[in-house]
Amino acid sequence: MNKKFPTLAIAVAAFCLASCHCDDDTSTTSKYITVATSIGQMTRTTTDANGNQEFAKDDQISIYAWTGNATAVPADFVVNNSINTYDGAKWTASPQMLWKDMETPHYFLGIYPNHAVTDFTADEYALDTEKQEASDLLVAVNTGIEGAGITATANPVSLMFNHVMSKLIVNLQFRNQWATTPTVASVTATAKKAATVNYVTATGTVVTVTGEQSDIVLPVTAANTCYTSIMVPQSDFRTINIVIDGKTYTFTHTEDIALESGKYTTVNLIVGRNEITLGSVSINNWQEGTNISGGEAQTDN
């Protein structure tokens, strides 16, 4: 679901255009750099009361712009991390963004939450499950048609923000061995939580997982029944641990479960007193998905 947001008035740039002929008057043209923002199909971590995607008051995005080549970020930026803050109605930029000139092609990168980048091909990322919104990295790149860039006449500059991390949703059901829904102490996923991000490839933003697997505690979405977290995209995730009444129930899938960039994976588990049965696994792009059935796990004690 796409939702357009208020046009982002970033700055006013006044350019003095001197004539090639000495007997002509000098003219000055004022030009706003404006950015029209939207979010892709995936729902942002923060939504309104109706579940619609929207930027919230005091949200901040970083914007970078450069010239030369779409996939080669120079040391000398046209715009270097202009922080734009949303007040609920409009965006205010600091510092202001100015076109280099009216003819040179520009390339644009937007990042939410605001983030100072020093290495655009290997920016370090670390998942913090206690800070879900901050971990939900959204990236917008606009390099024009076929990477040809955007000139100052192409206002507003369109920035479509897309989620580059993944999301894991674990739903729990319980067999009638329990008279009532048991109290779940924790749900963890054994996975990696570090990565590097390349913002300037020819095919879009690329996330490369790094580090070793560890037990990642999934925040509670609905007590005892649903646990959800932003995750680093990776292909070798298999294991989920559930702690109930001091007993650890371990589910290990027979195959790798893909956590894909820009998608969410749902794992539905049926928990019994002695084992966990897999209800289904689905991988969605926030709209459609497929189900994989089968598999079970048990506790060691």
DSSP notation for 59-87? -EEEEEEE-SBTTB--SS-SEEEEEEEE-
Q: Which residue range(s) make up the domain with 17?
A: 3-163
Buried b (16+ CB within 10 A) or exposed e, 264-278: bbbbbbebbeeebbb
Say if residue 7 is in the same domain as residue 145: yes
pTM above 0.85, yes or no: no
Same domain (yes/no): 138, 244: no
pLDDT tens track for 131-181: 998 999 999 999 999 999 999 988 778 888 889 999 999 999 998 888 899
Using one digit for the tens of pLDDT, what is the confidence trace for 77-124? 999 999 988 887 777 788 988 999 999 999 999 999 999 999 999 999
If pLDDT is split at 50, 70 and 90, which confidence band does 300 have? low
SS3 state at 135 = helix
Please tell me the total count of domains within the chain.
2
Retrieve residue 92's tokens. 């205010």
Q: Where among 143, 163, 183 does a domain terminate?
A: 163
Q: In angstroms, rounded to a whole number, what is the distance separating the alpha carbons of residues 193 and 129?
A: 9
- CATH number, domain with residue 280: 2.60.40.2630
Say whether both 229 and 117 belong to one domain: no
Question: Phi-psi region for residue 79, left (φ > 0), alpha (ψ -120 to 50) or beta?
Answer: beta
Tell me the C-alpha distance between 126 and 66, whole Å.
Answer: 27
Q: What is the mean pLDDT of residues 216-236?
A: 97
What is the greatest pairwise CA distance in the chain?
Answer: 94
Residues 154 and 191 in one domain: no
